[in-house]
Amino acid sequence: MRTLLKGNGAVARAAQMAGVQVISVYPITPQTSIVEELADMVAQGRLNARYIKVESEHSALAACIAAASVGARTFTATSGQGLAFMHELLHWAAGSRLPIVMVNVNRALAAPWSLFTDQTDSLSQRDTGWMQIYCQSAQEALDSVIQAFEVSQRVLLPCMVLLDGFLLSHTFENVDVPEQGTVDSFLGPLKVPHMVDIANPAAIGGLSDPECYTAFRRKLQIAHEQALEVWADVGRQWGELTGRSYDVIEEYRLHDAELVLVASSTPAMTARVAIDALRERGIAAGLLRLRVFRPFPANALRRALSRKRAVVVLDRNCSFGHHGIFYQETKSALYELPAADRPPVRGIIAGLGGRDITPEDIEQMLLQGSGSEGLEPVTWWKTLPEEEAVEAEPCTATK
């Protein structure tokens, strides 16, 4: 049934339909309306779940870890600073191999304070062992949360589903909400094989000797490698049930493109307009959208980008002291191509702290990236020139 939903509303509906049993959350802008809606559902009896109120995100995830350890289908949501506060427990959840699903509404990290979106919060948690799925629409958010429960329980890894703050979390769109029966037939029963069993007491996650530790970490890595196939598999199954298939990457006018934009989240949606416009002017532009970022779909990227004339990677994030994270990861994947097949790659950092990325911006990025007007290897898009920045009045916080 088609329903007008915000990104956050789609998330709450997805968690409800997935039949979550334990929710432990701490509210933070712009995630708040997710947890408010879930609280309403629980209070009104529309969702039979334990809603655990806590004093911090650290405790929220701790409660989720405990709940998942006893085999409950567990959900949480956060943003920006809240995700940063969870950091230690993100590692615990993944190392404990617990199928927790979390929505993180991307929010730029302080300082200075920002309420608006960029991806540095979730990308800072890249190495925690969580899967990461970047969504471009409310529809995809709903579909991905349900899929995340299925993938997580198959591979026993926690999964983070990402939505751009405000641009996706707070904008309405027509969402096709599946029937409950569809979800029920898709999502198998949760089995946590290593769940706490009071009949067989054990100490979990205790001290491991170096050999065992390495072996457990290797198993975590293998689970991620398998998860890539499972994501593709689950995306196909979902398509069979709903008509909406998903893969680890998404291609738009990419097959015959010479000039390719690699983007993620809502800018990837915007990019289609720019690509259509360039195509109309006879420029063979195309889009590769990164959807599943962890596990990283390196093979898919290599296949899709081999021999392209130019590749521009759009990063709404920065690994300070190096450069955009998607840019690094794309380059690293392409390095394994034979030199002749390896396309030139440029990186652009844009849209930090919620700054708009318009179709015109993307057109210019691609045109400059094609080489005729020349991009630096990494460009900070439309920032103040360095000399002027020094002489200019310092930026002050707006009221």
Partner 1 sequence: MSVPQPKSLRDLPITAYATRPTSENNTGTWKYVEPRYEDRLPPCAQACPAGNDISRIILLLAGGDLIGAGRLLRSGNPLPATLGRVCPHFCERQCNRDLFGGSIAVHMIERFLGDLLLRDESAQEPVTPSGRKVAVIGAGPAGITAAYALALKGHEVEVFDEKPKPGGYLRTGIPDYRLPKEILDREIEFIERVGVKFIQGIRIGRDIGFEDLRSRFDAVIAAVGLHESRAFEVPGSNHRHIYDGVELLERILSGEIPELPSTVAVVGGGNTAIDVARSLLRLDVSPTIVYRRSETEMPAIASEVEEAKREGVGFQFLTTPIAVVIEDGAVVALECCKMQLGEPDASGRRTPVPIPNSEFRLPFAGIVAAIGETADLGFLRQAAANGKRSLDGFYIAGDASTSEGTVAAAVGSGRRVAAMVHSYLVNGGTTADEPTLQSLWPRKVNTALVAGPQYLNPAYFAPALRPEIAKLNGEQPPSSFAEIVQGFAVESALSEARRCLLCGTCNGCLNCYYWCPDVAVHRDSRNGAGLEIDSMHCKGCGICVEECPRGAMTLEEVAR
Contact 45, 78 (CB under 8 A): no
Token code pair at residue 296: 């990283």
219 binds partner 1 (CB under 8 A): yes
199 binds partner 1 (CB under 8 A): no
Residue with tokens 């196909």: 236
Least Cβ distance, residue 132 to partner 1 (angstroms): 21
Binding residue for partner 1, selected from 1, 198, 202, 340, defined by CB under 8 A: 202
Residue with tokens 């979902």: 238
64 vs 249, beta carbon nearer partner 1: 64
Contact segment (CB under 8 A) with partner 1 among 160-168, 218-226, 273-281, 378-386 equals: 218-226
Listed residue (80, 89, 76, 29) closest to 50, CA to CA? 76
Helix (H) or strand (E) holding 299: helix 298-305
Contact 168, 265 (CB under 8 A): yes
Least Cβ distance, residue 97 to partner 1 (angstroms): 5
Residues that bind partner 1 (rule: CB under 8 A) add up to a total of 23
CB atoms within 10 A of CB 72: 20
- Exposure b/e, 120-142, CB count within 10 A at least 16 = b: bbbbbbeebbbbbbbbbbbbbbb
Listed residue (304, 332, 314) closest to 136, CA to CA? 314
338 binds partner 1 (CB under 8 A): no
340 binds partner 1 (CB under 8 A): no
203 vs 340, beta carbon nearer partner 1: 203
DSSP assigned state of 25: E
Residue 191 backbone dihedrals phi, psi, to 5 degrees: -125, 115
Contact segment (CB under 8 A) with partner 1 among 209-217, 230-238, 267-275, 278-286 equals: 209-217
Binding residue for partner 1, selected from 19, 95, 343, 353, defined by CB under 8 A: 95
Binding residue for partner 1, selected from 44, 200, 372, 396, defined by CB under 8 A: 200
60 binds partner 1 (CB under 8 A): no
Contact segment (CB under 8 A) with partner 1 among 163-171, 196-204, 341-349, 358-366 equals: 196-204
215 binds partner 1 (CB under 8 A): yes
Contact segment (CB under 8 A) with partner 1 among 117-125, 128-136, 201-209, 332-340 equals: 201-209
Burial class, 240, CB count within 10 angstroms (exposed 0-12 / middle 13-18 / buried 19+): exposed
55 binds partner 1 (CB under 8 A): no
Calculate ∠ Cα 303-131-46, nearest 5°.
Answer: 125
Binding residue for partner 1, selected from 21, 24, 33, 96, defined by CB under 8 A: 96
> For binding to partner 1 (CB under 8 A), which residues are involved?
95-97, 156, 193-194, 200-209, 211-212, 215-216, 218-219, 222
